[in-house]
């Protein structure tokens, strides 16, 4: 059975690599719901969020980061102060988050 396990892990890894290509399919509404529940404790999450830098408002992030960079920093935060959501977010929810943050760009 160990060969099956190896195959399953390889498949998951290939899905992970393919995921950024699907970034456009995230749901903005779902991403907003997640932001209002989980991100608001630290970030301004609304479209009218102040241009905060520490931590940045999501609207500020939208202005100075690409979708790929945003995804990368949710999956792999730079500093330990930012929770590692990727460990318990369902794959599609990361697409939703990225879609919502990108939608805030003015």
The binding site for ligand HEC (CB under 6 A) comprises 34-35, 38-39, 41-43, 55-56, 61, 65, 70, 73-74, 77-79, 81-83, 85, 97
| Shortest Cβ 8–ligand HEC spacing (Å) | 27
CB 74 within 8 A of CB 65: no
Residue 75 CB-density burial (10 A; 0-12 exposed, 13-18 middle, 19+ buried): middle
Cβ-contact 91, 28 below 8 angstroms = no
Decide whether 4 or 48 has the Cβ nearer to ligand HEC. Answer: 48
Give the residue with the Cβ less far from ligand HEC, 20 or 77: 77
Contact of 30 with 97, CB cutoff 8 Å: no
C-beta of 55: minimal distance to ligand HEC in Å?
Answer: 3
Minimum CB separation of residue 50 from ligand HEC in Å reads 15
């Amino acid at each position: 059975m160990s060969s099956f396990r190896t195959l399953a892990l390889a498949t998951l890894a290939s899905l992970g690599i393919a995921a950024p290509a699907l970034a456009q399919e995230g749901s903005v509404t779902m991403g907003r719901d997640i932001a209002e529940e989980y991100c608001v404790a630290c970030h301004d999450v609304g479209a009218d969020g102040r241009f905060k830098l520490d931590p940045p408002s999501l609207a500020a992030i939208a202005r100075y980061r690409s979708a790929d960079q945003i995804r990368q920093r949710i999956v792999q935060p730079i500093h330990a102060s930012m929770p590692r959501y990727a460990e318990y977010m369902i794959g599609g929810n990361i697409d939703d988050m990225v879609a919502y943050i990108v939608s805030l760009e003015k």
